Amino acid sequence: MRTRRSVRSAHALAGALLAAALAVTGCSASGDGGASKAGDGQGVAADEKGAADAAPESGKQGAPGGTADRSAPSAPRPATEHIIRTASLTVRVKDVPTALDEARTATTNAGGYVGDETTRRDAVGDERTRVVLRVPVDAYDKVLAALEGTGTLVERNANAEDVTDQVVDVESRITSQRASVARIRELMDRATRLSDVVTLEGELSTRQADLESLLARQASLKDRTSLATITLTLSETPVKKEAKEDEEPGFLDALAGGWGVFLTLLLWLMLALGAVLPFAAVAALVVLVWSKLISLRVARRPRPGSAADGGSGTGPGPLPVAPPIPGRAPDAGNGDA
């Protein structure tokens, strides 16, 4: 009897436990549908929080990707700065050729070279030279000081332009363009159809042209940043003019000015005469030819009294004879018949 009761109690306990398990499973299944999104969001938030907590530690420990200040991240700047330096100097000297030789020597000693050079002389005779110098950036300040010491500094303008971002951008684009050209070439090696090959060749030509343009720009930036450009203007000192600047004009100055005006007027008259002379020569020739033609036409006209009936035409012809009167005998001479 006790064995049967124990078995029944065991079966009853097992059934109760099974029912409780089914009830708990149903409740959890109904609750998972509403809380799944919240649970996922909490899990992601927990992951982000853990990553954020771990980031400062990894940054302090020197782990890759770690940052010391998460509030103000900044991109690392390149170690080398690329700056384009240009300057223009105007120096007044006593002897332009001598000062120009000194400028060339200073440029050559600094490792640079002389570019464009222009020399002219004004109406008074003062010489003026403009020369472009290219010097290394390291010797830029030294060469400027040497050029200023050749005479009296009249004007100086210096400019510095930072093109580091442009240089970095061009280098990055060159790297990407080279990789793109390499990929196109690999595709051409794998292409089997003629249409694909033609299309890839056109794309390769376009990308190579872009790459060459970027390389040319990189070379230009490199030249402009490695060598500074100095434009030097040398002019002679007008000693006589400076001495007479404060003096008032006198009679001789007025006479010289009037003589200059007279010479200028005479020059303009000569220029006007020279411009009109060809037209006058042609007009005179036309008048001469016209007069010759008129004289020939007058000479060919017949003279009055010329013998139209065969006379010699050297003198007047015979007088006309009156016809005889009927019924009257002609007189013989002047006597009576």
Which H helix or E strand runs over 113?
Answer: strand 113-121
- Tell the residue number behind the tokens 């002679």, with chain if given: 236
pLDDT above 90 for 175: yes
Nearest Cα residue to 315 out of 323, 327, 307, 325: 307
Query: What is the pLDDT at residue 294?
Result: 85
Mean pLDDT, rounded, for 116-139: 86
By CB neighbour count within 10 A (0-12 exposed, 13-18 middle, 19+ buried), where does 211 fall?
A: middle
3-class DSSP assignment, residue 227 = strand
Fold of the CATH domain 83-162+229-236: Alpha-Beta Plaits (3.30.70)
Query: What is the pLDDT at residue 257?
Result: 84
How far apart CA 84 and CA 163 sit, in angstroms, is 7
How far apart CA 16 and CA 4 sit, in angstroms, is 18
Output DSSP code: residue 129: E
- Give buried/exposed letters for 68-78 (b at 16+ CB in 10 A, else e): eeeeeeeeeee
How far apart CA 105 and CA 98 sit, in angstroms, is 11
Comparison of pLDDT for 160 and 301, the residue scoring more: 160
DSSP letter string, 52-101: HHHHHHHHHHT-TT--S-SSS--PPPPSS--EEEEEEEEEEES-HHHHHH
Phi-psi sector, 125: left (phi>0), alpha (psi -120 to 50), beta:
left
- Confidence class of residue 329 from pLDDT cuts 50, 70 and 90? low
Using CA atoms, how far residue 193 sits from 190, 196, 199, in Å, is: 10, 5, 10
Query: What is the pLDDT at residue 330?
Result: 54
Mean pLDDT, rounded, for 267-288: 89
pLDDT above 70 for 165: yes
Model confidence over 190-202: pLDDT tens digits?
888 898 889 999 9
The tokens for 108 are: 């050559």
What share of the chain has pLDDT > 70, as a percent? 61
What share of the chain has pLDDT > 90, as a percent? 25
Q: How many helices (H) and strands (E) does the chain have?
A: 7, 5
How far apart CA 218 and CA 198 sit, in angstroms, is 30
Are the C-beta atoms of 112 and 135 separated by less than 8 Å? yes
- Confidence class of residue 323 from pLDDT cuts 50, 70 and 90? low
How far apart CA 162 and CA 236 sit, in angstroms, is 36
How far apart CA 79 and CA 164 sit, in angstroms, is 10
Comparison of pLDDT for 36 and 216, the residue scoring more: 216
Which residues have CB under 8 Å from 38's CB, separation 6+?
none
- Confidence class of residue 326 from pLDDT cuts 50, 70 and 90? low
Lowest mean pLDDT segment, chosen from 74-78, 122-126, 235-239: 74-78
Query: What is the pLDDT at residue 208?
Result: 92
Model confidence over 80-95: pLDDT tens digits?
788 999 999 999 998 8
How far apart CA 140 and CA 83 sit, in angstroms, is 12
Total length of the chain? 337
Are the C-beta atoms of 127 and 100 separated by less than 8 Å? no
Nearest Cα residue to 188 out of 179, 177, 199: 199
Model confidence over 252-261: pLDDT tens digits?
878 888 888 8
pLDDT above 60 for 276: yes
Query: What is the pLDDT at residue 295?
Result: 83
- In the chain, what is the straight-line distance between the N-terminal and C-terminal CA atoms, in Å? 234
How far apart CA 16 and CA 9 sit, in angstroms, is 11
* Spatial strand order in the sheet of 227-236: 113-121, 127-136, 227-236, 83-93, 152-162
